[in-house]
Structure 1
């Protein structure tokens, strides 16, 4: 198979490069996930938007089907793929964005704490990737983008579970990329820096403000807006990234190259 000669879908214009393509985006109700849904939709994609909370229902539109589901549950991935195929007839893109974090030292962390973070951040990506690979393999084309972090490579106290899960996600990206590329499917990840989202709302009274302040530690001097990370996700899912396979593309304002 000459993947370099393939097109993921016909007739994609420069302004709507995802015309004719169908995506699943997890963690779609807010933050990076919502920004990704909005960007892919603006560029022509039809989307199954998956999130644990009912807030995702606000995304409903003729070209967006919201799905309330827990990515850590095995059945959720199969349902999401079935919805994509039944509503839109194909599946071209999977964005594994759903993620959670806790801030506890290992000595204070319960097994339930550990298991839940690993289940959402790593196992969820495995489950959705496994199910998405099946129709993509049949079609001989596709792109999977995992949303990682500078914690794919770095750590600091109180994020052991999160860092372990993102390290696992980076290795899943690499291993799956090798399995997928013979079938015309590219698998990559974006290593996001601090983005102004609600992921830490259960830890801090004002999660977005905390992340905005924490992001000032990056060499760039600020946190990212969700739309900035969505642009990188869209790039990795696009034909413009046709030669990128198994990479963790860092979009972290330089955080991963600093020495503290």
Structure 2
């Protein structure tokens, strides 16, 4: 998660030794979401914060929700201060584990802005463990947050979208919905289910001009991790070996994908799981292990 201000416009990649870094360029606002209203859950930090800021930059009016009230209000205030004319953001506390809160956030957005065009299901809750070790309460809570809550969001939002002529539902899944990691049975299961939920809702709501898509992020860095890795070349380099682009992701990478799916440019895109992972999931592990070995040897030999 990201606690501080986020740079939102990737420019060119520049090489720094053996690693690639982004050189940020100035933002260009084109009003791609002008006149549209969005709800974004989990907007106080990280990916959600990035999406809220990007949507507002492009002219949307956004209701962002989170359970972190102080951080959410501060984020909304900072983004609103830089909003272009006609755009804006308001904050509402909502807990995705409470169905009544999900319905209330949708109704509040419509009452505040008069319509609803975009829903981004981003908030989640997770617990580690295997099928043997995880507690049933934790399993149920994780599925409620990551599967039931996005379904309920669509349940309450889609009728308002239909009333406005159509809309876009975007759910943040993960590369963990495509490939499994150890000791995360609740997360892997839920993120995989989100992809099929996306497809099912795309089929159901397509005739009403409501598009439903998912985004599958790879690893998205946060400020504390960035600071740590700047002083730890070995750990940073080893992590970057997982990505053909030789860098980890940032909230802007996901926000720009969400912007595309929310915009009219994606008006013929539905039922799609957009993978934004720097190429991680296209890299064969047998070949990758050899490159990791070479990297470790090279790093050690250079000491």
TM-score (norm 2): 0.74
SS of the residue aligned with 1:243? coil
Which of 29, 33, 36 lines up with 2:51 in the alignment?
Answer: 36
The C-alpha deviation readout for 1:74-102, integer Å capped at 9, x for no partner, is 11121111111111100000011112333
Query: In structure 2, what is the Cα distance between the partners aligned to 1:185 and 1:215?
Result: 37
**Contact 1:195 1:215 (8 Å CA) reproduced:** no
Cα displacement (A) at 1:65: 1.3
Correspondences of 1:195-234 after superposition (within 5 Å): 195-197=220-222, 214=239, 216-234=241-259
1:50 and 2:65 equivalent?
yes
Question: Counterpart in 2 of 1:242?
Answer: 267
SS of the residue aligned with 2:173? strand
Structure 2: where are the runs of 5+ without partners? Answer: 1-28, 81-86, 230-234, 286-303
1:161 and 2:190 equivalent?
no
Which of 138, 157, 179 lines up with 1:113 in the alignment?
Answer: 138
1:94 and 2:119 equivalent?
yes
Cα displacement (A) at 1:219: 2.5
1:17 and 2:32 equivalent?
yes
The C-alpha deviation readout for 1:178-237, integer Å capped at 9, x for no partner, is 111100111101111110148xxxxxxx66669977464222222101011100011011
**Contact 1:142 1:185 (8 Å CA) reproduced:** yes
SS of the residue aligned with 1:98? coil
Question: Counterpart in 2 of 1:180?
Answer: 205
Question: Counterpart in 2 of 1:65?
Answer: 90
Tell which deviates more after alignment, 102-111 or 89-98. 102-111
Cα displacement (A) at 1:129: 1.1
